[in-house]
Amino acid sequence: MADAVRAEDREAEEFLKVARAARKAATVLAPLPRAPKDAALRAIADALLGRTEEIVAANEKDVARARESGTSEAMIDRLRLDAGRVAAIAEAVRQIADLPDPVGEVVRGSTLPNGLELRQIRVPLGVVGMIYEGRPNVTVDAAALCLKSGNAALLRGSSSAYESNTALVRVMRDALAGTEVPQDAVQLVPGTGRESAKRLMRARGLVDVLIPRGGASLINSVVEESTVPVIETGVGNCHVYVDAEADLDLAEAILVNAKTQRPSVCNAAETFLVHEAVAEEFLPRALRALGAAGVTVHGDKRVLEIAGRVPDGAKVVEATEEDFYAEYLSLDIAAAVVDSLDAAVEHIRTYGSAHTDAIVTRSVVNARRFVAMVDSAAVAVNASTRFTDGGEFGFGAEIGISTQKLHARGPMGLPELTSTKWVYTGEGHLRTASGTVIAGR
CB 324 within 8 A of CB 349: no
Compute the average pLDDT of residues 141-162.
Answer: 95
What is the tens place of the pLDDT at every residue in 396-405?
677 888 888 8
Picking from 10, 3, 5, 15, the residue whose alpha carbon sits closest to that of residue 196 is 15
Give how many domains the chain has, as a whole number.
Answer: 2
Residue 15 lies in a domain: no
Picking from 135, 110, 141, the residue whose alpha carbon sits closest to that of residue 45 is 141
| 265 vs 78: CA distance, rounded Å | 8
What is the tens place of the pLDDT at every residue in 14-63?
999 999 999 999 999 999 999 999 999 999 999 999 999 999 999 999 99
The backbone region for 205, taken as left when phi is positive above 0, alpha when psi lies in -120 to 50, beta otherwise, is: left
Say whether both 197 and 303 belong to one domain: no
Q: What is the CATH number of the domain that holds 59?
A: 3.40.605.10
Cα end-to-end span (Å), the chain: 74
Say whether both 372 and 418 belong to one domain: no
Say whether both 323 and 341 belong to one domain: yes
CB 23 within 8 A of CB 143: no
Residue 400 lies in a domain: no
Say whether both 164 and 246 belong to one domain: no
Q: Which residues contact 230 (CB under 8 A, 6 or more apart)?
A: 209, 210, 211, 212, 222, 223
Residue 296 lies in a domain: yes
pLDDT of residue 220: 86
CB 377 within 8 A of CB 407: no
Residue 92 lies in a domain: yes
Say whether both 74 and 221 belong to one domain: yes
Residue 403 lies in a domain: no
Residue 115 lies in a domain: yes
Say whether both 334 and 278 belong to one domain: yes
The domain of 56 spans 22-233+412-423
Say whether both 197 and 60 belong to one domain: yes
Say whether both 164 and 69 belong to one domain: yes
What is the number of H-type helices and E-type strands within the chain?
Answer: 15, 18
Say whether both 380 and 416 belong to one domain: no
| 140 vs 144: CA distance, rounded Å | 6
What does pTM read for this prediction? Answer: 0.85
Per-residue pLDDT for 204 more than 70? yes
Strands 269-275 and 332-338: parallel
Neighbour count for residue 98 (Cβ, 10 Å) = 12
Strands 106-111 and 117-124: antiparallel
* DSSP state letters, 124-186: E-SEEEEEE-S-THHHHHHHHHHHHTT-EEEEE--GGGHHHHHHHHHHHHHHHTTSSS-GGGE
Residue 93 lies in a domain: yes
pLDDT of residue 5: 56
Q: What band does 1 get if pLDDT is binned at 50, 70 and 90?
A: low
Element (H, E) at 280: helix 276-292
What is the tens place of the pLDDT at every residue in 60-112?
999 999 999 998 887 888 899 999 999 999 998 999 999 999 999 999 999 99
Say whether both 268 and 163 belong to one domain: no
Q: What is the CATH number of the domain that holds 325?
A: 3.40.309.10
* Helix (H/G/I), strand (E/B), else coil: 73: helix
Say whether both 244 and 228 belong to one domain: no
Say whether both 259 and 211 belong to one domain: no
pLDDT of residue 336: 98
Neighbour count for residue 293 (Cβ, 10 Å) = 14
Residue 7 lies in a domain: no
Per-residue pLDDT for 4 more than 80? no
| 370 vs 440: CA distance, rounded Å | 61
